[in-house]
Amino acid sequence: MRLGALLSFRALGAAALTCALTGPALAQTADVPLATRTGESDLPLTVNQAATGLDALDLALRVDPASTTIAGTARYSLTALAPLARLDFDLDPRFAISAVLVDGAAVPAERWRNDKGLFSVDLADTAAKGTRIALEIRYAGRPHKAIKPPWQGGFVWSQTPSGQPWIATAVQGEGCDLIYPCIDNSQKRIGVIDAAVTVPAPLVAAGNGKFVGRSDEAGWTTWKWQTRNLNTYALALNIGPYETVERTYRSRFGNSFPVQFWHLPGNGAKAAALVDQMVGFLDFFERTIGPYPAGAEKVGLVETPHLGMEHQTINAYGNDFKLAPEGFDWLMHHEFAHEWFANQLAETEPKHMWLQEGLGSYMQPLYLEQTRGTLNYHVSLWDMRKKIVAKVPLVPEGRLSSAYYNDKDAGWGGDIYYKGAWIAHTLRGLIGDRAFFATLRRVTYGRDDPRPGNFVPVYRTSDDFRRETEKASGKDLAWFFDAYLRQGPLPRLSATRNGKRLDLAWTTAGGTPFPMPVEVRVGQRIVRATMTGGRGSVPLGEDLTDFTLDPANRILRDDPAITAWQAQEKAASEAKAKTAAAQ
């Protein structure tokens, strides 16, 4: 989710990249532009990257707030998945590399290079398939500063209200190579990461995974963390004068694990209240989808000087403890959904991002339905529906351009959130709860019976989702996914009175079949038109005008009223901006 998983259906529209960020001193000096390769994540793997197995990483980082620099040593344990003559990694070229070692031996400078972010090491001899390789890279420098975190990411060098260093990273769009040498592709997770982060005492470095110890040395403290199968952009640095609130969660699946929140001094009571909410969120997700994916580690939250990000087991939180009218923290709920839809179920490539963002966004209406009733469910969906633009396909052909991420007119805007959530709502209405939730479980865990310890992260495409849906429902649903994912405009339903009969017809932008059944309220009755071939009819009563199409609002379809309202709002916004500019 290259928009940062923060375009809430509650408060942010399709172009909402102007959300106010919490915390003081966020303004930073503009950084030099990122190298092309460094500035974009999930580029196609090189042949050498595809052939490199990432078994383990021992990462040591020293973070100096005074100079806004870092110094790191990355020690990799690798396996050649095919014959390898060269190792390729990604690393921001602004870092100076002081040494490269392979199997403990220094590599001469002429055998390694960083070509605009592609860091390569020529091996002395071609490694045969199955060969284990130890790679060590020592580097240092001033990392890229985030311009508008988390949407334009990097390092955030901030200060707490009391003037102490407050540091965070958010690099989803740009990738892990802004922090350490990595293979910046979502399908190249590292088996085990041991991260040791050294910071000036008495600062705390909260990290991913399990806390495994700390050590103190001459005014510096090293905080040590271990995590497994980490989402590539999810490794995060979070440094500040943190205090901690902790609860133990006892899962319905029989395991227990900590829920921990690293917060700034003075926010303990608010943090404790949010942790209590998290316990409720956990029970909802485990009841609705399945086991918490990182139950062997922790549920982690950390207060950050930017709005938020779904960093695996250490979710960034900067929503200033604001409650929605329904009494819960929408931001934390959304970010936490990504522990399932991003960190457990991951897209194979960015064009399938709706699987993470759309399904993650749909979790909020579901949560409200279960905790507050159907009115809240439908209100939250209606709030989303007003923001669906539906100009371009959710799943385009070929590789995505940057416009798909960032251009509100030529690209997705917020559709991967809102349209994605409405696709889930419509699908649920079409195939029923049993098949729908079975699909979610299967596509998320790769099995029907997930239990702690019997699953690993899975990578999915939109076609994978379709196949699991068809398997669970017993229906051929190619027409459904063609219309909603591979065409921009929404299906249009026309209704024509023909004597005492109402004739109905679906049309799609691509002219593809769309046999979506339609309910019609006729007087006091609900009549269902099967719409074979995209056409159907229902008998009308004596009052030929007393009918409502899709009275339960189950179907995502073109709505001229919303389109007209969106145009009105856009014109008013542009006029206001023009007046402000003139003044």
pLDDT digits (tens, 9 = 90+) for 51-89: 999 999 999 999 999 999 999 999 999 999 999 999 999
For residue 503, pLDDT over 90 is answered with yes
User: Are residues 434 and 367 located together in one domain of the fold?
Assistant: yes
| CA separation for the pair 172, 209 (Å, rounded) | 18
pLDDT digits (tens, 9 = 90+) for 325-381: 999 999 999 999 999 999 999 999 999 999 999 999 999 999 999 999 999 999 999
The sheet carrying 118-127 orders its strands as 84-90, 118-127, 112-115
Same domain, 390 and 448: yes
**Do 462 and 526 fall into the same domain?**
no
Query: Confidence band (pLDDT; 50, 70, 90) for 12?
Result: very low
Q: Flag whether 304 is in a domain.
A: no
Say whether pLDDT at 15 is over 50.
no
CATH label of the domain that carries residue 544: 2.60.40
357, 446: one domain = yes
Angle at 33 between CA 32 and CA 36, to 5 degrees: 145
Domain assignment of residue 374, yes or no: yes
Query: Does residue 41 register a pLDDT over 80?
Result: yes
If asked whether residues 403 and 454 sit together in one domain, one would say yes
The number of distinct structural domains making up the chain is 2
Mind listing the pLDDT tens digit for each residue in 511-535?
Answer: 999 999 999 999 999 999 999 999 9
Cβ distance 540 to 497 under 8 Å?
yes
More confident residue, 5 or 110: 110
Alpha carbon dihedral 411, 352, 181, 61, in 10-degree steps, equals 90
Cis peptide before 202 (omega within 30 of 0): yes
Q: Is residue 296 part of a domain?
A: no
115-157 per-position pLDDT tens digit: 999 999 999 999 999 999 999 999 999 999 999 999 899 999 9
The answer to whether the predicted template modeling score (pTM) of the entire model surpasses 0.85 is yes
**Both 442 and 527 in a single domain?**
no
Instruction: Please name which of 345, 359, 310 lies closest in space to residue 331, comparing C-alpha atoms.
Output: 310
Pairing of strands 204-206, 535-539: unpaired
Residue 360 lies inside a defined structural domain of this protein: yes
Nearest residue to 549 via CA among 519, 525, 517, 523: 519
Cα gap 200→212, rounded to integer Å: 19
> Cβ neighbours of residue 116 under 8 Å, at least 6 residues apart?
35, 36, 37, 38, 93
Q: Would you say residue 433 lies in a domain?
A: yes
Scored b (16 or more CB within 10 A) or e, 130-147 reads ebebebbbbbbebbbbbe
Report the chain's mean pLDDT, rounded to a whole number: 93
Pair (350, 472) in one structural domain: yes
Cα–Cα distance between 339 and 311 in angstroms, integer?
A: 8
Other Cβ atoms less than 10 A from the Cβ of 5: the count is 27
Residue 10: pLDDT band with limits 50, 70, 90? very low
pLDDT at residue 1, as a whole number? 42
Range of the domain at 527: 492-558
Residue 3 has pLDDT above 70, yes or no: no
Same domain as 460, residue 408: yes
Which CB contacts under 8 angstroms, 24+ apart, belong to 559-566?
A: 559/385, 559/490, 562/385, 562/386, 562/388, 565/386, 566/386, 566/389
Residue 13 has pLDDT above 80, yes or no: no
